[in-house]
Structure 1
Amino acid sequence: MIKKILLTLLLLSLGRLKAHSVLAQSTDALSINISPPVSYLYVKPGAGISAPIYLENQGRYTLRVTPQLVDFWPNQETGQVILKQSSSFKHLSIAGDYHAWGKEFIIRPGESYTLPLTIAIPADFPQEEYYLSVLFNVEQMLIPDLENNANTILSGVVASHLIVSVNLDGSDRSKIIVKDFKLPKIVDSLMGINFQVWAKNIGLNAGPIRGKLMISHWPSPKEDIYEFYPDMVLAGSQRQARGMSEENLLNLKTLSEQEELMLANDQDFFELQSKFLEKNLLADFSYKKAFLLGAYDFRLELGEEAQVERVIALPFSIIIIIIALPVFYRFLIFLIKSIAIKK
């Protein structure tokens, strides 16, 4: 698939990392946009980079915003983000001032604000990944409640996650393997085949899931193909792989080719793309046909691994019905005769 599609999917997959926090309310009163929601940053020991975060007040009232730096860690089973109370990482600062964390700033309606983050890594700093979250405590500056003669304060929290990889040569040291391939051995011909794929990163830095799954059934030469979505898996973590059919991937490609035209016509391309992914991107896969019969081979390719599993489909429900019909018929005849005798 073309490089542009892969990049788009990768950026969207990074956005799947969500903090367990209360998001700022998406109402006219309190609405704030943050970009990027997730950043993956390479930094060499002894070097520094800038990593600005952009905020935009899309609501109707002035907001008071307080930035806070905390560490996060992925749940080892689900990959979901777990926030800590503070951060031990002392090399991410606001415009070079680490003590600027906790100092509030104001964003008026329709205005934007850039938080000028800088990362400066000592030359002897350990080479590994560091998981950081910049939390923005957002508070509406008072909404008069004339009916109750009081003031209402709306507040919430939005987050931007940073994965900082301290790496001397910037090489990818991730290694994605198959953690679990949940697939039945025998299924009913009328029920379909449900399956899941779990990936684990046993490498030293985060990396995307890459691969596909092909389903073949003799004697048909055609294969059904699912391409895996390049969700990021953090080092030492695991997550359920998601994907979509080859047909839907081609439809996504066609949609992406229209991005510039849609944006030029003031159409919301990203919302349309997001709805398409929400509808067609699968985590719990289901292979269904009108009638399954015989052996189906599932070839899983994930990273450098490949494995083949076979599922046998047999018409159990039809066999049960065929066996049950004579029994039911005899019972029905017996019931009719019994009623006739009583009369």
Structure 2
Amino acid sequence: MSFETINPNPEPPKKPEVNMKSVRKFTTLAIIVVALLYIGSTSFYTVEERERAAVYTFGKITHEEGSGLHFKLPHPIQQVRIVPAELTQNLTVGYRETASGDQVVEEEAMMITGDENIVAADAVITWKINNIKNYLTNIEHPETFLRNASIASIRSVIGSQKLDYVITDGKTEIQEQARIMLVELMDKYDTGIQIIDLKFQDIEPPDGEVSEAFRAVTNAREQKNTKINNAMKYENDRIPKARGEAQALIEQAEGEKASRILNAQGDVAKFNAIYEEYVNNKDITESRLILETLEKILPNAQIFITNSNSDTVSYLPLNELMNNRSNTSTSRTNTNSSSSSSSTNNSQTSTQ
């Protein structure tokens, strides 16, 4: 029979010894990796084209960056806010563009005119950011502020005009006045927003009989303007032609006037020359004028000179004498030519 001795205070098993240096080294390495990952994820940022970045240092904007890859100090030292500063944007008032088409926003579109009528007006505002600091710090919700300011400007201008003028001839003027007022509001509150343009899409009364009546008035005015433009076009086409024709007639009349004046001056000079001859030799000049006049009046008449002082009428047949003289001279000319021809032939024969 055997007996075992039992130890009332047994010793606990020994734990394996831990290398504290390795633990510290691993912990330090993990912290460094996490810090690097955090810095890498929060310190590098990219700015796209037509965007600009505003860099906040301890909550204040210190500088701006353009497009590209940039570095900043990690959060919360520095923060970045990127805005489309180089992009021209459009803001609609009175309606919204949806996939199914334009949807009217009545609380924005309905406006009261100066003569207490209601019109529906919708517009498009073209704008861009021209001062990033003012845009990010002076207004909390820029687009909401811009839409409200646009509605206020449009209602202020339309509220001072009559309905007939608003929906017909005054659309362009009202549009320009609203744009100027909106620009003044943006400058007054230093919003950093630049208003490029404000254009109305439609200004018309609410649907119904009133709308149809005013639409008929608008169509009549448009037809009136079309006819006026056509008349002006016809006037601009005809007046230059009429002026040209009138100038041609004037120049033709001036030429005729100058020609007649010159002819009259020539006739006067001719008459004065004949008169001087008439003063010196009245009888001869008178006879000459009579004969020249007779030659013009009766170019084929035969001329006879008669003497009726005696009982026998004597006359001198000048025409026959002139004809005989001309025939004699012609025969002499022929004789001389034939004799010269004969002499030429004889000379040639003697030479041979």
TM-score computed with the length of structure 2 as normaliser: 0.20
Greater helix content: 2
Larger Rg: 2
Larger RCO (CA under 8 A, 6+ residues apart): 1
Greater strand content: 1
